[in-house]
Every structure is written in structure tokens, then in C-alpha cells.
Amino acid sequence: MAKFKIQKSSSTVNWTGKKVLGIHTGSINIKDGFIEMADNLIKSGEIQIDMTSIVITDIEDKKSHDDFLAHLKNDDFFSVDKFKTATLTITGSNKIETNKFKIDGNLTIKDISHPISFISSIEIFTDTLHSLGEVVIDRTLYNIRYGSGKFIDNLGDKLIYDDFVLQFKLIGQA
């Protein structure tokens, strides 16, 4: 079994949230993590996300940017003061094709956990793991209901879609 420690400075996680009238984008930092592989499969792993590091990249106006960032960090969204870390616990994988895997695990946001699956490409170069992928998350499963059509009627152009997307590049070192 090979254990790869996630290299925080080389790894990236970018997020995209959509609403009726557009999108917002940003990034967030990895706090810590590892991936364990055996028999050319991911057997386990854990990726910790530092929720306090959330950044917005698409709003240039300082006041709008700061207001939206405060909104994301408050109880309407991620309650960052109470829940500083989100965690993906990897429970296994299935090989789909060469270097492409379906990853299974549990995602915990705001101390609420749900099973999740996503596709990731993974390549090993000597003692370095390189992984690219995308995770689609239904925020309402984690009690993030602000602007959701599932819970609030007649939102019109204020509707925020329930799914948000994390695109990641992970670099791990054995």
C-alpha cells in the first residue's frame, strides 16, 4: 500500500456557484490530507478543507466582494465560525478506464455527512500522485438553504441553484 500526503501548496480547489442571473467563482485551501492506494485502486483517504480560507474571484467591487464573502461565511451558508473544516473521507474506488476512477466517500460540511461519488483522473509518477476531478454538491443536504427553490417560493431572479461545483487538482507525495 502506498500513502500519498497531499501537498497543500501544489494542490488547488476552485468552486463555482450558479444563480439565475449568473455565476460566482472562487477558491478554497486544503488544510491537510492523504490518499492510500493499493492494487492500482484508491483504498482510503481524507481531504480536509479549510473553510476559513474561502475566496471569491469574480467580484472586483470591494464592498460587494466583502459583503458576499461575509454572507458565505455566515449561517446562511457555511457557518465558518462554528465549522472551520469540511472533510471528504474516501471509502474506496472503482477503475472506470486507464487512470480514471469513480471515487466513493462521505462528505462532511457543517458536521453533516452524506455519501458522495465522483470521477477523478489519477496518475502516479514515481512517488508523486496527480489527481484531477470535479465534485457536484447539493448544498441543501448540508442545511445550506439560502435562496433555494426547494425551501423558498417565488424567488424569481434571486434563485440560487442548489448544486455547487468543486474542481480540484491534488498533488500527493509518497
pTM given for the model: 0.86
The CATH number for 113's domain is: 2.40.128.110
> What is the total count of domains within the chain?
1
Phi, psi (deg, nearest 5) at residue 25: -130, 160
Which three three-digit cell numbers place residue 86?
469540511
Q: Which of 41, 53, 166 is nearest to 116 (CA)?
A: 166
pLDDT digits (tens, 9 = 90+) for 75-113: 878 889 999 999 999 999 999 999 999 999 999 999 999
Backbone angles phi, psi at 47, to 5 degrees: -120, 120
Domain range for residue 78? 2-173
Provide DSSP, 44-65.
Answer: EEEEEEEEEEEEE-S--SHHHH
Please tell me whether residue 98 adopts helix, strand or coil conformation. Answer: coil
Beta strands 12-19 and 22-38: pairing type?
antiparallel
Per-residue pLDDT of 133-154, as tens digits, reads 999 988 787 876 554 444 444 4
